[in-house]
Amino acid sequence: MSNRNVLLFILGTLVLFGGQIWLTSRYTKPVKAPVAVEQTQAAPASPAPAQAAPAVPAAAAQAGPAAPTADLSATHTTTTADLTLTWQVATGALKQAVWRQDGTLFFPGDFPGVGGVRGTAFQSVHEEAGAEAVTVVFENAQGARLAYRVPRHGSTLSLAGVLPQGARLQLVTLPADLKPVEHLGRVFTLTDRKIEAVTWLDILHDPFFSFLGAKRKVLPPAESRLGLDAGLDPDPKAQRNHYFAALWKLPSVAGRDESGYSLTPEGGRLAADLYLGPKQAAPLEAFEKPFTRVIDYGFFGAVAQLFFWVLQKLHAVIGNWGWAIILFTLILRAVTWQLNSKQIVSMLRMKDFEPHQKALQARYEKFGNDMTKKAEMQKELMALYKKNGHNPMGGCLPMLLQMPVFLAFWSMLNAVFELRHAPFFGWIHDLSVHDPFYVYPVLMGASMFVQQAMTPATGDPAQRKMMMILMPVMMMVMFAKLPVGVIIYYFASNLIGIAQTWWVKRNYVPQPIEV
């Protein structure tokens, strides 16, 4: 493969990687310090036995919407083994959720909330304690009632209640501007077969090409399953992905209007399930299998899921995700060993052709830029390759075939919750964020330089020398802020590639070329 083709392939790859990194950074901007929700906890009533569903007052279904006379600043907080939840008393909206294992905030402090009621207002809140759950009940004098059953362990809340005519449960609220949701990712609805997702940025921000008529996107079509990305990293500089989600499972299709998604009670009665937890396959599948699609494995999703399954099996044996990645890389390179060996042999064979190629170019040099003669020269060169059974693209095709493998592995490491806050050793305490001291990006760049120096190449030596320096530097810069788990994979792959190149070159026997 000529240096020109190598350069074009590398530039195309960089554009592909750069585009994906730009899209990721566009939709996962660094988070600002969250605004704390005022903790004006309402005085809980005496504990009573937990109820599977609140009783339905006889007059509630007939009552009209109540005036919002409740204190809008009053909040109520409940803490379980997994979650700390804060509601606005007046609306019953869940304004804040905290994952207690590491203090991760689901939403910023000015988030509109999920689960609030429109068309009535609550004046009181109390808790009903049970052995397995705590039920938080909001009520008003008109008989409206909304109850959240919060399990003591787990992430799935059940809602039940009764609302007056005209009142609705606000599932996902569309804010007036981007500020309350600018740090969050997507809003989505799910069917049995697919997921429809739109980012808050696309919904609430004018597109770059608005002067050409491009418009903001709208909320996805309403379904009985919907939700949004959640989870703000405590370290704003480390925010690269939203590893949590708030998901609704409804008894009927939600309504969609300019305010967002809402659910109208059937006969005044209300029931729904709300998941507040990590984007992790097992709990999502337990909630309902279609919700596993909120884990974004990227374009090569099926391959990425297969890779993660293998990685999980390795982790079960080794007990460390970093070493599991290295062992997985070793297995992957072993599976593709023959393919990579053929690539190296093809490059070595191309090096054998170089004297004949230069002699042919010298013969046609006197014709200058005559395109007809250049075509004749190229035809003669291809005939030489064919006569000797050599495919000049043999060095490129294996590289192209491995690109989906790398991209699938990359997107998988960026998406899975299990690698979040997973340590390796030494200073690496979280494989899902970048190396704080940039040691691994430098090691990756150095290994790439060595591999390029060992790889046979033809063409202008000055151009090759420039690429040997330029490419590792560019890759170090591009990869510096990527999750260190991805860089460990790339670095380990480079080391194995260096060993394989040395071995193939050591055993390579040049074949005579028939002219």
Joined tokens for residue 460: 């202008």
Q: How far is residue 398 CA from its own chain's centroid?
A: 28
Q: How many CA atoms lie within 13 A of 76 on its CB side?
A: 25
Joined tokens for residue 408: 């699938």
Non-local (6+) Cβ contacts of 118 within 8 A are: 91, 167, 168, 170, 259, 262
Between these two residues, 191 and 461, which has the higher pLDDT value?
Answer: 191
- pLDDT tops 80 at residue 28: no
- Where is 18: in which H helix or E strand? helix 3-27
Whether the Cβ atoms of residue 251 and residue 168 lie closer than 8 Å to each other: no
- pLDDT tops 90 at residue 312: yes
Non-local (6+) Cβ contacts of 45 within 8 A are: 126, 127
Q: Nearest to residue 276, comparing CAs of 113, 76, 65, 43?
A: 113
- Give dist(CA 486, CA 409) in Å, integer: 8
- Give dist(CA 283, CA 289) in Å, integer: 9
Which overall architecture, per CATH, does domain 60-295 show? Distorted Sandwich (2.70)
Joined tokens for residue 203: 């919904």
- Per residue in 68-121, pLDDT tens? 446 788 999 999 999 999 999 999 999 999 999 988 999 998 999 999 999 999
What's the pLDDT score for residue 14? 57
Non-local (6+) Cβ contacts of 336 within 8 A are: 398, 402, 405
Poorest-pLDDT segment among 120-124, 139-143, 240-244? 240-244
pTM over 0.95: no
- What is the edge-to-edge ordering of all strands in the sheet holding 145-151? 124-129, 133-139, 145-151, 156-162, 269-278, 244-249, 225-230, 186-190, 195-199
Other C-beta atoms closer than 10 Å to the C-beta of 404 total 13
Q: Nearest to residue 226, comparing CAs of 190, 256, 262, 200?
A: 190
Domain residue spans of the chain: 60-295, 304-350+392-507
Tokens 């305010």 belong to: 259
- Give dist(CA 421, CA 400) in Å, integer: 33
- Give dist(CA 206, CA 443) in Å, integer: 41
Between these two residues, 393 and 492, which has the higher pLDDT value?
Answer: 492
Other C-beta atoms closer than 10 Å to the C-beta of 467 total 19
- Per residue in 202-238, pLDDT tens? 999 999 888 888 899 999 999 999 999 999 876 656 6
- pLDDT tops 70 at residue 344: yes
Average pLDDT, the chain: 84
